[in-house]
Amino acid sequence: MKIHRLTVDGRDYFLPDPIDELRAEILKAIQAGGGYVNIPPLRGGPGIDILFSPGMPVTWSQIDVGGDPSEPAAGDTDESYEDPYEAL
């Protein structure tokens, strides 16, 4: 599952996928000289309205949480490993 973190003026908001429409709304508000955009919650609820304006620091980041790794971690498949404390 991918979660997106939107940081606006130092505050973090976590958003579910997809975010393309939300990004377009934010860009439109900034290009218009400022405007409110509703940021949906990660889990149910009304969300929050944020006033976006030119010059306001906005950062997007994507976080991959949970799920199965595509490859096993290093050492997980090494059958030649012998535990030195097993004999104790």
Q: What is the pLDDT of residues 17-26, one digit of tens each?
A: 788 899 999 9
Report which of residues 8 and 84 the model is more confident about.
8
pLDDT of residue 80: 63
Q: How far is CA 43 from the centre of its chain?
A: 14
2 Cβ contact partners less than 8 Å away, ≥ 6 residues apart:
17, 62, 63, 64, 65
d(CA 1, CA 7): 19
What are 59's strand-pairing partners? 7
What's the pTM value of the predicted model, to 2 decimals?
A: 0.64
How big is the chain, counted in residues? 88
Tokens of 41: 């919650």
Every domain of the chain and the residues it spans: 2-64
- Per-chain mean pLDDT for the chain: 80
Q: What is the pLDDT of residues 29-65, one digit of tens each?
A: 999 999 999 988 877 788 899 999 998 888 888 888 7
pLDDT of residue 52: 92
